[in-house]
């Protein structure tokens, strides 16, 4: 079928799509996603359905079981059926475009042949399922499982012992610089979302143009529109994770009854479950696995053995999940086309009124002087205990009682969002430490003449304020050997910048890891050291060494672990680290992007990086486990409201998701060193691609455009 939109490319292979109306443009976006990112979006489709193990094998099984039990695909279908007709038609056109491009995209991606996966047609609700699969763990509800185990093994007094203020699984930076602080008098919005660094990347740079709107921004492959970061020419917006809590876990008591029925104990006694069905998960290279899909009045059961429920009187204690789209049959997709049509901050504000999840903090600015700083999303009103731990389904008081109003703040100067406490404080339990937010604010206050290119000095800042508590302990230590004394001296003289070429930064990181491992091995935490009784998909939230690493600041000062010999731990770690050969931080802290199917020959080499978890340059590792970074800035952007063509952007790898393509990794050298590529919106400066996909925008422009970057 001939495309109903036209595709152009710039020097970086970024797709610029043009069509006669929004529906044709949606079709073109879907077709482009299938051609540029076929393997990526097909994997995400299967993850949303719980069918990834059928071609990825046992490593994908734990996720598939969660997706089935949480009823992600059914929730996506329910939310699609509830869409208004215009939004449903728009999503359907996107899906038709995906289906039109899948065969060609799959032929170019070697992973299909390697796994034996054959692409199959998408359903109208598949994009909603992809969105759910990306974000079902985004609210961090597995942290409640961890807190429950901590309370059970150490006592309720230790429930929040490992608060970081902030889990290590989510984050982002964003800042709004008002016109009185810029050289041209118009606002600038900039920042970087922090996600797992994937290959291909999570975000796709995109330009969507039709007579009704013209928008540049970052799309999520497999999802229509531009949700998180966009610039329409007259208004721009960006988001960060609000760190709100909006998913609940309930301990359920189930009992089998006659005829294979199941009852769940609630506040009003035992009542039949809403749904029960046995499903089979196929596993490549292994035996199929049956899964019992059960849903109570609270939500789908996601954890627990239900094998005893087939007999009368059989009982099971399990955990159910309650999450907003399952309750409301609304995923907020009506906001996506509304954002594309936005012309002012007021339009963006109204669009985000429709947002459901993930819950975000939003910045927006327009060319008329409008500024916006608000929270968007669905956070239920309920008991405080729901936000901290697993709550008993049979006790009253843990139900949802409506929806919180989303806070907002007036913007009269700088507005910074970095997952720390702020306007979203009433909506969450744990937030990121204030280090990134404070540092960004400090840097931005140094000038009233900011320009778009200068924003990279903020993006790439490597100061590590969170080093202070450990270095204070080092200062109190009396080294036992000359080598340890020399290390102590170097650390205390260190400028506390995690620069890639810094040997002192590497010394600090090695010491920190040694301290983390020793605290994790302390007798006081022995009961948390073994595998916890939860599915493997929750492991990142339940690993003791990882929890110690991200809570280290608090653990160095806590009095909740009596007898913990912190001076001795630091002294021993100093002696251990002093004997290591000198290296730079970049030699240890290398990019390690996640890849669903390794072995394509695109794994090496990856560059060494500066930065660290609590730096503005938040290239995260897990001290005590690895110095490699597989989480960090999954994009960087600078939205200039004086002239959109002065805006800048970058992704970690490139625009095309096919290994070996010229645009698969061509942005990596810029991303790794903090440089940004120009946003180009003039179609006269682009190269049109024919229907077979040739034409990559490189004709005579690469050298001149890359020099500007």
Distance CA 464, CA 506 (A): 13
HEC string of 316-357 equals: EEEEEEECHHHHHCCCCCCHHHHHHCCCCHHHHHHHHCCCCC
- Residue 571 in any domain: the answer is yes
Distance CA 440, CA 237 (A): 18
Distance CA 141, CA 16 (A): 38
Beta bridge partners of 7: 17, 689
> What average pLDDT does the segment 308-337 reach?
95
Q: Give the number of other Cβ atoms within 10 Å of residue 311's Cβ.
A: 11
Which range marks the domain in which residue 281 is found? 248-322
At 324, give phi and psi (nearest 5°): -55, -50
- Residue 533: predicted pLDDT: 84
- Residue 697: predicted pLDDT: 40
pTM, 2 dp: 0.95
547-558 pLDDT tens trace: 999 999 999 998
> What average pLDDT does the segment 602-622 reach?
91
- Residue 523 in any domain: the answer is yes
At 105, give phi and psi (nearest 5°): -65, -40
> What average pLDDT does the segment 657-665 reach?
94
Local confidence band at 596 (pLDDT 50, 70, 90 cut-offs): confident
- Residue 406: predicted pLDDT: 94
- Strands 620-622, 626-633: parallel, antiparallel or unpaired by DSSP? antiparallel
Of 463, 372, 379, the closest CA to residue 425 belongs to 379
Q: Which of these three, 583, 618, 638, is where a domain ends?
A: 583
- Residue 264: predicted pLDDT: 97
Distances (CA, A) of 289 to 43, 46, 116, 310, 654: 20, 16, 20, 17, 37
Q: Give the number of other Cβ atoms within 10 Å of residue 414's Cβ.
A: 14
Of 129, 101, 89, 136, the closest CA to residue 30 belongs to 101
Beta bridge partners of 17: 7, 208
Local confidence band at 693 (pLDDT 50, 70, 90 cut-offs): low
Q: Is the pLDDT of residue 696 over 60?
A: no
Distance CA 607, CA 591 (A): 6
- Residue 353: predicted pLDDT: 98
Q: Tokens standing for 237? A: 């917006």
Of 658, 653, 702, 657, the closest CA to residue 680 belongs to 702
- Residue 472 in any domain: the answer is yes
The half-sphere exposure of 633 on its side-chain side, counting CA atoms within 13 A, is 36
Distance CA 23, CA 69 (A): 34
Helix, strand or coil, per DSSP, at residue 691? coil
- Strands 620-622, 188-196: parallel, antiparallel or unpaired by DSSP? unpaired
- Residue 166 in any domain: the answer is no
CATH number of the domain residue 468 falls in: 1.10.1400
Q: What is the number of structural domains in the chain?
A: 2
Distance CA 259, CA 253 (A): 19
- Residue 579 in any domain: the answer is yes
CB within 8 Å of 343: residues ≥ 6 apart: 232, 234, 235, 366
What dihedral do alpha carbons 229, 682, 699, 702 form, nearest 10°? -50
Instruction: Please provide the DSSP assignment of 408-420 as one string.
Output: B---SS-EEESSS
41-57 pLDDT tens trace: 999 999 999 999 999 99
CB within 8 Å of 563: residues ≥ 6 apart: 523, 524
Q: Give the number of other Cβ atoms within 10 Å of residue 406's Cβ.
A: 23
What dihedral do alpha carbons 217, 221, 225, 227 form, nearest 10°? -60
DSSP class of residue 544 equals H
DSSP H helical ranges for 206-353: 324-328, 335-340, 345-352
59-99 pLDDT tens trace: 999 999 999 999 999 999 999 999 999 999 999 999 999 99
CATH number of the domain residue 286 falls in: 2.30.120.10
Taken in order 137, 138, 139, 144, the sign of the CA dihedral is: positive
Helix, strand or coil, per DSSP, at residue 85? helix
Q: Give the number of other Cβ atoms within 10 Å of residue 236's Cβ.
A: 32
- Residue 314 in any domain: the answer is yes
Local confidence band at 339 (pLDDT 50, 70, 90 cut-offs): very high
Q: Which of these three, 322, 343, 369, is where a domain ends?
A: 322
CB within 8 Å of 158: residues ≥ 6 apart: 150, 151, 560
Q: Is the pLDDT of residue 350 over 80?
A: yes
The half-sphere exposure of 446 on its side-chain side, counting CA atoms within 13 A, is 11
Of 684, 490, 553, 546, the closest CA to residue 165 belongs to 553
Local confidence band at 28 (pLDDT 50, 70, 90 cut-offs): very high
> What average pLDDT does the segment 288-307 reach?
97
DSSP H helical ranges for 609-694: 668-673
- Residue 209: predicted pLDDT: 98
Tell me if 320 sits within 8 A of 296, measured CB to CB.
yes
> What average pLDDT does the segment 36-45 reach?
98
Q: Is the pLDDT of residue 507 over 80?
A: yes
449-469 pLDDT tens trace: 999 999 999 999 999 999 999
Distance CA 619, CA 500 (A): 11
Q: Which of these three, 555, 583, 611, is where a domain ends?
A: 583
CB within 8 Å of 30: residues ≥ 6 apart: 93, 94, 95, 96, 97, 98, 99, 100, 101, 224
Tell me if 144 sits within 8 A of 545, measured CB to CB.
no
Q: Is the pLDDT of residue 707 over 70?
A: no
Higher-confidence residue: 311 or 306? 306
> What average pLDDT does the segment 536-565 reach?
92
The half-sphere exposure of 339 on its side-chain side, counting CA atoms within 13 A, is 29
- Residue 99 in any domain: the answer is no
Q: Is 441 left (phi over 0), alpha (psi -120 to 50) or beta?
A: alpha
Q: How far apart are the first and last CA of the chain?
A: 38
Distance CA 248, CA 144 (A): 9
554 CA to centre of own chain: 24
Of 544, 637, 534, the closest CA to residue 173 belongs to 637
- Residue 24 in any domain: the answer is no
- Strands 360-366, 371-376: parallel, antiparallel or unpaired by DSSP? antiparallel
Average pLDDT, the chain: 93
CB within 8 Å of 348: residues ≥ 6 apart: 235, 237, 339, 342, 362, 364, 366, 372
DSSP class of residue 110 equals H
Place of tokens 């916006």: 372
159-218 pLDDT tens trace: 888 887 444 445 799 999 999 999 999 999 999 999 999 999 999 999 999 999 999 999
Q: Tokens standing for 41? A: 């979006």
Q: Is the pLDDT of residue 600 over 70?
A: no
Q: Is the pLDDT of residue 358 over 60?
A: yes
């Amino acid at each position: 079928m001939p495309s109903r939109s036209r595709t152009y490319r710039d020097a970086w292979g970024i797709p610029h799509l043009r069509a006669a109306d929004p529906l044709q443009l949606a079709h073109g976006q879907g077709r482009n996603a299938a051609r540029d990112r076929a393997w990526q979006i097909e994997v995400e489709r299967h993850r949303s359905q719980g069918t990834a193990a059928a071609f990825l094998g046992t490593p994908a099984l734990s996720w598939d079981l969660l997706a089935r039990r949480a009823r992600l695909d059914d929730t996506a279908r329910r939310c699609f059926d509830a869409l208004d007709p215009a939004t449903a038609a728009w999503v359907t056109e996107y899906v038709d475009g995906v289906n039109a491009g899948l065969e060609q995209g799959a032929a170019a991606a070697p992973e299909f042949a390697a796994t034996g996966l054959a692409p199959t047609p998408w359903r109208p609700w598949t994009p909603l399922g992809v969105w759910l699969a990306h974000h079902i763990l985004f609210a961090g509800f597995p942290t409640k499982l961890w807190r429950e185990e901590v309370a059970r093994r150490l006592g309720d007094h230790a429930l929040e012992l490992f608060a970081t203020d902030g889990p290590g699984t989510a984050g982002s930076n964003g800042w709004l610089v008002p016109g009185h602080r810029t050289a041209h008098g118009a606002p600038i919005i900039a920042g970087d979302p922090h996600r797992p660094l994937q290959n291909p990347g999570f975000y796709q740079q995109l330009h969507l143009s039709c007579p009704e709107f013209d928008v540049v921004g970052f799309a999520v492959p497999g999802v229509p529109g531009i949700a998180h970061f966009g610039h329409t020419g007259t208004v721009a917006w960006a988001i960060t994770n609000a760190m709100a809590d909006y998913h609940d876990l309930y301990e359920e008591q189930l009992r089998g009854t006659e005829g294979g029925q199941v009852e769940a104990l609630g506040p009003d006694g035992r009542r039949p479950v809403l749904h029960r069905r046995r499903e089979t998960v196929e596993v490549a290279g292994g035996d199929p696995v049956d899964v019992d899909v059960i849903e109570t009045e609270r939500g789908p059961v996601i954890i627990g053995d239900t094998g005893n429920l087939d007999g009368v009187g059989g009982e099971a204690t399990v955990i159910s999940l309650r999450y907003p789209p399952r309750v409301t049959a609304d995923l907020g997709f009506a906001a996506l086309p509304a954002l594309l049509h936005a012309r002012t901050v007021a339009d963006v504000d109204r669009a985000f009124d429709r947002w459901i999840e993930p819950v975000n903090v939003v910045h927006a600015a327009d060319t008329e002087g409008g500024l916006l700083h608000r929270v968007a999303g669905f956070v239920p009103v309920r008991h405080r205990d729901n936000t901290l731990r697993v709550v008993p389904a049979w006790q009253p008081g843990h139900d949802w009682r409506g929806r919180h109003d989303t806070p907002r703040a007036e913007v009269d100067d700088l507005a910074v969002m970095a997952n720390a406490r702020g306007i979203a404080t009433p909506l969450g339990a744990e937030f990121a430490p204030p280090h990134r937010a404070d540092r960004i604010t400090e840097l931005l206050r140094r000038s009233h003449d900011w320009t778009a290119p200068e924003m990279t000095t903020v993006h790439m800042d490597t100061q590590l304020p969170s080093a202070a508590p450990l270095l204070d302990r080092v200062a109190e230590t009396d080294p036992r050997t000359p080598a340890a004394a020399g290390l102590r001296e170097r650390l205390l003289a260190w400028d506390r910048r995690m620069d890639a070429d810094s040997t002192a930064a590497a010394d600090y990181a090695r010491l920190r890891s040694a301290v983390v491992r020793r605290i994790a091995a302390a007798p006081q935490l022995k009961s948390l050291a073994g595998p916890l009784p939860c599915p493997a998909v929750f492991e990142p939230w339940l690993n003791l060494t990882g929890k110690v690493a991200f809570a280290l600041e608090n653990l160095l000062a806590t009095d909740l672990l009596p007898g913990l010999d912190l001076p001795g731990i630091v002294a021993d770690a100093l002696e251990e680290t002093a004997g290591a050969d000198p290296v730079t931080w970049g030699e240890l802290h290398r990019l390690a992007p996640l890849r669903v199917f390794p072995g394509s020959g695109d794994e090496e080499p990856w560059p060494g990086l500066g930065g660290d978890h609590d730096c503005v340059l938040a290239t995260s590792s897990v001290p005590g486990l690895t110095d490699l970074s597989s989480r960090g800035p999954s994009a960087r952007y600078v939205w200039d409201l004086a002239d959109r063509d002065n805006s800048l952007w970058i992704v970690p790898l490139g625009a095309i998701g096919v290994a070996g393509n010229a645009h698969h990794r061509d942005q990596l050298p810029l991303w790794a060193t903090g440089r940004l590529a120009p946003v180009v919106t003039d179609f006269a400066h682009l190269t049109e691609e024919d229907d077979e996909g040739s034409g990559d925008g490189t004709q005579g422009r690469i050298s001149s455009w890359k020099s500007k970057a």
